[in-house]
Amino acid sequence: MTVLWVCTLFLLAKAGLGEACASGRFTRTGECCSLCPPGSGMVEECGKQDTKCQPCPEGTFSLSDDLSPCQPCARCPAGIHMLAACSASQDTHCECGEGFFLWRGSTFEGLCAPCSTCERGQGVTRECGVKGNTECQLCGPGTFSEEQSTTKPCHPCLRCSDSEVEIRACQRNSDTICMDKKLHIRDKTRWTGEEGNEEVEGSSSAPGFTHQDGAGGSSNILAYVSVLAAVVLGLLLYVAYKCWTSCKQKQALGKARAAELGAAPEGEKVEKLHSDSGVFLDSHSLQDSQPSKGSKRDSKQDSRLYINLPPHRQEEVERLLQEGGGRGWRQLGAVLGYEAEQLDLFGRGEAPVHTLLSNWAQQEGSTLGLLCSALGRIERPEVASALTCPSQGVSVV
């Protein structure tokens, strides 16, 4: 128990002195380890006794107070002028030029490397030069940096005055944004009915109004109007696009219905498209214009839209393309004109086949005949038959 109490007291004393000890290390007796001053290096670590230091010999140096040994001096690259020779307290200074610094390699052969740039939200604490590369530090509370730089430190944040309201608080990478509590707007020129003289309200001579206030209020109003105009223009373009898409779909649907009426089977009565006329045509009157029972029809002639196919039929087609081995939905998408990047994007979803066919169905001319022809080119006749396409018209290539 006595040993435990002694260890506890030692640790408490060590923790209490930790903040005052610059090295952060202690001897076994609890004394703070000393740092080696510039121009000297550590030759024996702190342990039983305090740190032992000695002056750096020729050809070595030590820049600051630390616990590291002396470092070998760097050598300037070939063709680079030496500004200052190495000493015990500084490394070799070489004339690398503006925007470059001397970089020490593992063999201590110097190399002129480009200076680093501090990013937004960081400030320069040491500029790049003969002492080394740029040193950056994150901007602390109450400071900011809005641009990349190799020379500029963090700037203090702006404070809004009593007549202003804070729109956005200061951040590391952006300053505070303030706005006047009251926008001063110039009124239109008005005429006094009594004397007929012209009087301008809100002029620079009006009490409490300055030219600076008027300029700030005008710029804010222009910004708000610009944003509002952009929003209205975007809405108008969106409505125009939706109307154009709807008209195209209606036209394609009308053509598909006309084609279905023209290809009705024998013995079936077809209602005329103009229902208000009340006239019906018997299918026998169209017998002469219809092909014979044994005739063949190319699948490309089927102008019915895929989007009008019953949902259960679409699900069957998607299932066959998803489960079928060999040539699947990717080959079909390539035949339908999709790029590899678009197909990769579809493949990231849970149902790529559904995504492909749904996207293609929204395009103009997405008929069953065109889809049957594409299925024939990738040798998937069983999928084409699921679309109720004439098997005679599907050419297997």
Domains of the chain: 17-72 (2.10.50.10), 73-114 (2.10.50), 122-180 (2.10.50.10), 298-393 (1.10.533.10)
**Distance separating alpha carbons of residues 309 and 357, to the nearest angstrom:** 12
Per-residue model confidence (pLDDT) at position 76: 86
pLDDT above 60 for 7: no
User: Strand, coil or helix: what is 116?
Assistant: coil
**Distance separating alpha carbons of residues 198 and 189, to the nearest angstrom:** 7
**Which whole number is the average pLDDT over 240-246?**
88
281 vs 84, higher pLDDT: 84
Beta-strand relationship, 122-126 and 135-138: antiparallel
Going along the chain, which residue ranges are E strands?
40-44, 52-55, 60-61, 71-72, 82-84, 93-94, 100-104, 110-114, 122-126, 135-138, 143-144, 155-156, 164-168, 177-180, 190-191, 198-199, 270-271, 280-281
Question: Exposure pattern of 72-89 as b/e (b: 16+ CB <10 Å)?
Answer: ebbbbeeebeeeeebebe
Is 303 within 8 Å of 255 (Cβ atoms)?
yes
Percentage of the chain surpassing pLDDT 90? 19
pLDDT digits (tens, 9 = 90+) for 55-69: 999 989 888 788 889
pLDDT above 60 for 13: no
Least reliable range by pLDDT among 135-139, 257-261, 295-299: 295-299
pLDDT above 70 for 390: no
294 vs 234, higher pLDDT: 234
pLDDT digits (tens, 9 = 90+) for 28-62: 888 899 899 999 999 888 888 888 999 999 989 88
**Distance separating alpha carbons of residues 268 and 272, to the nearest angstrom:** 13
**Which whole number is the average pLDDT over 116-131?**
91
The alpha carbon of residue 197 and the mean position of all alpha carbons in its chain are separated, in whole angstroms, by 59
Per-residue model confidence (pLDDT) at position 375: 85
**Which whole number is the average pLDDT over 285-309?**
53
